Structure 1
Amino acid sequence: MSNSVYDFSVNTIAGEQVSLADYSEQVVLVVNTASQCGFTKQYAGLESLYQAKKEQGFSVLGFPCNQFGEQEKGGSDEISQFCELNFGVTFPLFEKIDVNGENAAPLFNYLTTNARGILGSKRIKWNFTKFLVGKDGKVVKRYAPTTKPEAIESDIQKLLSA
């Protein structure tokens, strides 16, 4: 049983395995993303938060997912180029994963177990569900896809200042 997000390794969008322990002592926002979603414009808000707070020890980690309306059909190169060209994304992106079901990435099983949704549901309902993780690697809060990144800024700042 994992005790924090730092216990997981994931593959970057370029295919390199990295340990999330590389983000220890940082406040992290983990987001399942998609390029063809009504919420895709949130990439801009996520990038803005990342730029504003990265020097204080904050990172956004984007995990593309094709489980919701097949809104992330492309491969890693296509996803990476889309995010960079359309939204200027510089925060870390990772390989496309599943966030629900028997093939769900272990990181997302951990996140959904430790920060449940409405009515205690583990299941992620849609793209751009966000998980705020404290400096200790533990999940602090889960946010709905409709929650705009700028609405999370005060929660992020509280954790950075703690």
Structure 2
Amino acid sequence: MTKNIYNFKLTEMNGQTIDFNNFRDRVILVVNTASKCGLAGQLKDLEYLYQKYNNDGLVVIGVPSNQFHMELKSNQKTSEYCQLHFGVTFPMSKQAKVNGKDELPLFKYLKNKSNHGKIKFNYTKFLIDREGNLVRRYSPLKAPKKFEQDIINEINNG
């Protein structure tokens, strides 16, 4: 089992590596996203938080998944859609599975740390503190702006 969040790497839509080791001493918010989901409007809130707090130490990582059959067919279409409709500038990985046999190791780790079992739907969010510890797992229906104070608290703990 991987010891901490800093051991993980993802591949961004543009092919660059998202290396969590580069996020030491930063607050990280990991979210499984889907462009065609009814909750996709949360992308605007995520972008708002990213823009507002990135310089203070917040990193938002979007992980598109078609596991719930609400994502576009290709990484390129997903990337274009998120940028065009929601103004997303935070890093987005290539599409990945969040449950099951081929699930992303990052999600296996986060689910284990949260003790909440499988991801039930798109927009499950994981807040990680500056030390790399999972602070909280938020349900898909919990809008990102509703836990903005939790993010501020973690930023100020640094």
Q: Distance in 1 between matches of 2:86 and 2:134?
A: 27
Matched, 1:137 2:132: yes
1:13-162 matched pairs, under 5 angstroms: 13-68=13-68, 70-117=69-116, 122-162=117-157
- Once residues 120 and 18 of structure 2 are traced to their aligned partners in structure 1, the CA distance between those partners, rounded to angstroms, is 27
Residue pair 1:4, 1:136 contacting (<8 A) in 2 also: no
TM-score for the superposition, normalised by structure 1? 0.94
Letter in 2 for 1:72: E
Preserved contact between residue 50 and residue 58 of structure 1 (Cα < 8 Å):
yes
In structure 1, the gaps of 5 or more residues are: none
Query: SS of the counterpart of 1:109?
Result: helix
Spell out structure 1 runs of 4+ moving beyond 3 A. Answer: none
SS in 2 for 1:146: coil
CA contact (8 A) 1:47 1:88 kept: yes
CA RMSD of aligned residues (A): 0.9
Deviation per CA, 1:74-116, whole angstroms, max 9, x where unpaired?
Answer: 2111111101000110011001000000111000000000013
Structure 2 residue ranges without an equivalent (≥5): none
Contact (CA 8 Å) 1:24, 1:136: kept in 2 or not?
Answer: yes
Query: Is residue 3 from structure 1 mapped to residue 29 from structure 2 by the alignment?
Result: no
Offset, 1:127: 0.2
Aligned-pair CA distance for 1:9: 1.1
Q: Percent identity?
A: 39
CA contact (8 A) 1:62 1:91 kept: yes
